[in-house]
């Protein structure tokens, strides 16, 4: 759930308690996302100086992200940015959240490689919805990347390739190295609200 989200307005809490679903409030903005082993996360953390033509405001960052992700998704369907979502046509497969300061920004993307319909039923129809969604249910509004792309690995390789063609240096790291970095002292602002 985004930082300003209210669980009772966004989630069927009694249904979420039954399968012991954790409700986590993240430090960035954005909507509510169902997360499981079929969700792929991509987070871009940028110094403003790395992209001097992109202002540190939500709309310019979103516009840049559409051009960044276009080579990843456009070969597989009618890809575009609709408000704050990545879509094929009128069906969403990626949601975004941001945290922005004067000289840095962070852009989270939750990509739906696949999803369980019963998990999507835990989400309420939010009061604030994108105009293109209309009154469609989650299942009418969403699509799965696995129905468009050849493999999860090809998705990850395409994102890495877009970083390289955008002029960024990439370096793979192991899970053990990432866990070592996470063990260091750092500000923790993500909260578990219910489990």
- The domain locations on the chain are 36-121+130-169
pTM of the model: 0.88
CA separation, residue 66 to residues 35, 114, 185 (Å): 22, 21, 34
Q: How confident is the model at residue 4 (pLDDT cuts 50, 70, 90)?
A: confident
Closest-CA residue to 90 (of 148, 137, 143):
143
Residue 165: the pLDDT is 94
The terminus-to-terminus CA distance of the chain in angstroms comes to 14
Q: Fold for domain 36-121+130-169?
A: BirA Bifunctional Protein; domain 2 (3.30.930)
Q: What pLDDT digit, counting tens, does each position of 94-144 carry?
A: 999 999 988 999 999 999 999 999 888 899 888 888 889 988 888 899 999
Among the residues of the chain, which ranges form H helices? 7-10, 13-17, 58-73, 117-120, 138-141, 152-165, 175-183
């Amino acid at each position: 759930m985004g930082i300003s989200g209210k669980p009772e307005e966004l989630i069927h809490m009694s249904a979420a308690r039954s399968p012991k679903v954790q409700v986590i409030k993240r430090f960035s903005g954005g909507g509510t996302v169902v997360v499981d082993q079929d969700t792929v996360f991509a987070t871009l953390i940028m110094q403003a100086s790395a992209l001097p033509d992109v202002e540190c405001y939500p709309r310019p960052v979103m516009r840049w992200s559409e051009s960044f992700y276009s080579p990843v998704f456009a070969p597989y369907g009618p890809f575009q940015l609709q408000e704050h979502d990545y879509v094929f046509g009128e069906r969403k497969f990626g949601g975004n959240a941001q945290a922005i300061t004067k000289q840095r920004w962070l852009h989270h993307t939750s990509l739906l490689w696949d999803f369980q319909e019963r998990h999507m039923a835990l989400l309420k129809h939010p009061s604030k919805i994108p105009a293109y969604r209309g009154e469609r249910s989650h299942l009418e509004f969403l699509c799965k990347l696995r129905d468009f792309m050849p493999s999860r690995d090809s998705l990850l390789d395409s994102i890495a390739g877009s970083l390289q063609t955008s002029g960024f240096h990439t370096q793979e790291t192991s899970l053990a190295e990432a866990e070592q970095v996470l063990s260091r002292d750092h500000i923790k602002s993500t909260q578990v609200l219910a489990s």
